[in-house]
Amino acid sequence: MRNIEIKINEERNVRLTAYIQEANGEFLFSKRPAILVLPGGGYAMCSDREADPVAAAYLKAGYQAFILRYSTGEHKKWPNPLEDYEAAMEYIKSHADEWFIDREKIAAVGFSAGGHLCATAATMAKNKPAAAILVYPAILKDICDVCQPGMPQPNEHVSTSTSPCFIVAARDDRTVDVKNAIMMQLALAEKGVSFESHIYSFGGHGFSTGEDWIITNSVSERVPNWVGDSIGWLRELFGKLTTSGFTAPTVMPSVNADFAPVLSVECSLNHIRKQSDEVIELLAPLFEGIKMVAAARRYSVEGLMAAIGNNTVRELMEMVRVPADVIKSIDSTLHSIINKID
190-209 residues near a second copy, rule: CB under 8 A: 190, 194-202, 209
Neighbours of 264 (CB within 10 A): 21
Distances 237 to 125, 279, 291, 320 between C-alpha atoms, Å? 20, 32, 36, 29
| Shortest distance (Å) from residue 185 CB to a second copy | 5
d(C-alpha 262, C-alpha 248), whole Å = 24
Determine which residue in the list 60, 126, 141, 328 makes contact with a second copy, applying CB under 8 A: 60
| Shortest distance (Å) from residue 336 CB to a second copy | 26
d(C-alpha 15, C-alpha 12), whole Å = 9
Interface with a second copy, residue 160, by CB under 8 A: no
Pick between residue 19 and residue 70 the one whose CB is nearest to a second copy: 19
Pick between residue 13 and residue 220 the one whose CB is nearest to a second copy: 220
Q: How many helices (H) and strands (E) does the chain have?
A: 12, 10
Cis peptide before 79 (omega within 30 of 0): yes
Pick between residue 9 and residue 220 the one whose CB is nearest to a second copy: 220
Q: Are 276 and 60 in contact (CB under 8 A)?
A: no
d(C-alpha 105, C-alpha 164), whole Å = 12
| Phi, psi dihedrals of residue 39, rounded to the nearest 5° | -65, 160
Determine which residue in the list 94, 250, 276, 332 makes contact with a second copy, applying CB under 8 A: 250
**End-to-end Cα distance, the chain:** 50
Determine which residue in the list 95, 157, 179, 273 makes contact with a second copy, applying CB under 8 A: 179
Determine which residue in the list 83, 86, 229, 331 makes contact with a second copy, applying CB under 8 A: 229
Determine which residue in the list 52, 83, 86, 318 makes contact with a second copy, applying CB under 8 A: 52
| Shortest distance (Å) from residue 61 CB to a second copy | 7
**Which span sits near a second copy by CB under 8 A: 96-104, 276-284, 300-308, 326-334?**
300-308
Residues 24-43 that bind a second copy (CB under 8 A): 25-29, 32, 42
Site residue total, a second copy (CB under 8 A): 87
Q: Are 7 and 78 in contact (CB under 8 A)?
A: no
Determine which residue in the list 7, 73, 159, 189 makes contact with a second copy, applying CB under 8 A: 189
Pick between residue 303 and residue 323 the one whose CB is nearest to a second copy: 303
Determine which residue in the list 157, 240, 273, 291 makes contact with a second copy, applying CB under 8 A: 240
Residues 75-94 that bind a second copy (CB under 8 A): none
Determine which residue in the list 127, 310, 327, 331 makes contact with a second copy, applying CB under 8 A: 310
| Shortest distance (Å) from residue 93 CB to a second copy | 22
Determine which residue in the list 22, 90, 104, 156 makes contact with a second copy, applying CB under 8 A: 22
Q: Are 50 and 127 in contact (CB under 8 A)?
A: no
Determine which residue in the list 164, 271, 272, 283 makes contact with a second copy, applying CB under 8 A: 164
d(C-alpha 342, C-alpha 251), whole Å = 26
Strand 245-246 relative to strand 2-9, pairing: unpaired
Any idea how long the chain is?
A: 342
Distances 169 to 45, 136, 153, 341 between C-alpha atoms, Å? 21, 5, 17, 32
Q: Reduce the DSSP state of residue 135 to 3 states and report it.
A: strand
